[in-house]
Amino acid sequence: MEFTTQEYPCSLCNSNNTKPLVVKLGFPIVQCAGCNFVYVNPRITNEQLQNIYQHNYFKNKDYGYVGYELEKRLRIKNFERWLKEAAPFMPVNKPVNALDVGCAAGYCLDVMKAKGWNAEGLELDAEMCINLEKDGQIVYHRSLDNFETKHRYQVITLFDVIEHIPVIDAAFKQLSHLLDADGIVIMVTPNHNSFQRKLFRKRWFQYKPIEHIQYFTRQSLAVFARRNNLQIIHASKCGQYGDAHFLVTRLKYYHFIFLSKLFDKIFQLLNLKNRFFYTGTGSLFVVFKKM
């Protein structure tokens, strides 16, 4: 696909003064000289960004995902773990209306419904929406910024989503608007201050500048939240479940070819191909509530 690029100011402070960090896939990843926020600039235009999520985003070898649905069991375990971690901060003694922003194949919706929640999803991929509706899920084929509903939500989740959104203040403003008075927003996003990013530097696998256009820290998320009537009430390091294929693929990505082959052999010899484990991925788990 041919991309049209454009320069944009810093989402955090609106400055145009930047310094280069790394170049990935031909896209400069820069740091704002004023507030240190990290983002892709120049990047794909907002209009074209919207389009790349509309069709086959979850079956795309150039960006997005390949085999998203093949990792169903791992993704379900991620969602179960993350919702359990957020449980102490959820409202009690009332029905839960939940919204999963970027719900993809609906695995998080299934986990929510298993808890007895009224679960709804937002998703831009048209094919995913069609399949979800066939399965009886409540899903809206639209973006967060133009979504409206008559009721408010006790839980809103954005798992690996906020880094894709071009206008961050508008997103936080909308989240605050949609959230019930005692509700919570739960996010997982790549952490630019993570050990993994500092260790792997330009080879950090979260540097995906076609779709990951903003890179957050706890501090930058707190600023976006605060000026949109939200506050962080919990933040922690976050990882995800993986299996043998996950580890071997990650090692190949980081060009540790010998280690990837060695671990592949070990997993085969010890019959560990179907075992799974939880590992750090350099992400941040954050819970917000209204101020």
What's the rounded mean pLDDT across residues 3-8? 95
The number of CA neighbours under 13 Å toward the Cβ of 184 is 20
Polymer length of the chain: 291
Q: Which of residues 290 and 260 earns the better pLDDT score? A: 290
Strand order across the 276-290 sheet = 138-140, 118-122, 97-101, 153-159, 179-190, 276-290, 230-243
For 54, residues 6+ apart whose C-beta sits below 8 A from its C-beta are: 124, 125, 126
pTM: 0.93
Structure tokens belonging to residue 126:
């048209």
The number of CA neighbours under 13 Å toward the Cβ of 6 is 10
- Res 89 pLDDT > 80: yes
Q: Is 201 left (phi over 0), alpha (psi -120 to 50) or beta?
A: left
- Res 60 pLDDT > 90: no
What's the rounded mean pLDDT across residues 91-109? 94
Average pLDDT of the chain to the nearest whole number: 92
> Residue 66: exposed, middle, or buried by beta-carbon count in 10 A (0-12, 13-18, 19+)?
exposed
Closest CA to 107 of 144, 140, 135, 141: 135
| CATH number for the segment(s) 5-290 | 3.40.50.150
Write the pLDDT tens digit of every residue in 204-235. Answer: 989 999 999 999 999 999 999 999 999 999 99
Residue 254's pLDDT is 63
Write the pLDDT tens digit of every residue in 264-275. Answer: 788 788 777 777
> Residue 44: exposed, middle, or buried by beta-carbon count in 10 A (0-12, 13-18, 19+)?
buried
- Res 62 pLDDT > 80: no
What's the rounded mean pLDDT across residues 85-114? 95
Using pLDDT thresholds of 50, 70 and 90, give the confidence band for residue 58.
Answer: confident
What's the rounded mean pLDDT across residues 139-157? 95
- Beta strands 118-122 and 97-101, pairing class: parallel
